[in-house]
Amino acid sequence: MIQAHCNIVPPDILYEIIKQGKTAEEKEKAIRTLEISESLRTQRTVLTRIHDLRAPKVLEKRRIIYDANHAEDIFSLPGTPRRSETDSQDTGDGDVDNCFINTGRVYDFFKKVFKRNSIDDDGMLLQSSVHFGTDFDNAVWTGSQMVYGDGSNVIFRKGSLTSLTVTAHELTHGVTGSEANLVYRGQPGALNEHMSDVFAIMCDQWASKETTESSDWLIGRNILLGSGNGLRSLKDPGTAHPSDKQVSHMKDYHTGMRIHYSSGIPNKAFYVTCAEIGGFSWEKAGKIWYVTLRDRLREYSKFQDAADITFEVAGALYGKDSDEQMAVHTGWESVGIDAKLLSARAVNLDTKTRILD
């Protein structure tokens, strides 16, 4: 199964800094981050072949955090082991320790809320490398492991890239790759990014026991230096920072739009759904989205497919015309999409829905 190489930082932010950056240092850091990110992307398949991380029937949590020692060559990964389940004491290295803790929180979230056994639901080892590159302003899911830069303190705060929403976002790309395997372009690519944002914000809310009403709905909270509250807002797409170009309605969508822009449309639909239901996002809306991702979406699913499937899954989970199903309809309607029952459309999708216990 081919999995996308995915970065937490949209390249558009870096392009904008290269064009509009206030200082030469700012532009230099953005250029270097793009170069290293591209190197990771082009060599991802090699790394996947080197490391066999799947372990069938392993049920316990398994994490290993490595120090990449500022290497910029993917062949040097994973690096020097620093912390694992058998050596879980704090190391005094903030990135190592934060990465270990937040990776564990993501594992616990999927396990306790959705009964999922790691990324692949089969006990996959959660392997991460921190301190990759010098002042690298990105965090990357390579298809087999996480790779974190330090942040340059010019674009992103040092130590901020191992935060919970960043970690959860990137690891969810692994979940998506193991399930729907949404291609990383067009509307399927936007749905891929959307799923990572959805499960990242739910994990963050779950860890803090925040309700739909009390959450700020930000991904990458306070990691940017300068103005801006975060990388993306599910509540108000396009408002997280001055260069945020996410859209939140189909009237603003066009074919060829960058996936980090158009993912704001399903993000807003999810937020409105949660706001309509109230309470904790992961309890009802989260289950609808998880079953949709696990059982129903396919590689080339588009926004209309996601709307129709979540609407149908909500009916299967909570009853036809239930408040939850109507909330899903309202969520998609708020972004200009009319969710319909699949029986009314000729869609070649598996109709089996496994109900969560």
- Give the catalytic positions in this structure: 170, 260
Report whether 101 contacts 84 (CB < 8 A). Answer: no
Q: Which two tokens stand for residue 121?
A: 């639901």
Place of tokens 């739909």: 212
DSSP 296-336: I--TT--HHHHHHHHHHHHHHHH-TT-HHHHHHHHHHHTTT
Where does the chain show beta strands of DSSP type E?
A: 6-7, 63-67, 80-84, 126-130, 139-141, 146-148, 218-219, 232-233
What is the C-alpha to C-alpha distance for residues 349 and 334, in angstroms, rounded to an integer? Answer: 25
Contact (CB, 8 A) for 272 and 319: no
Nearest CA to 178 out of 354, 357, 4 is that of: 4
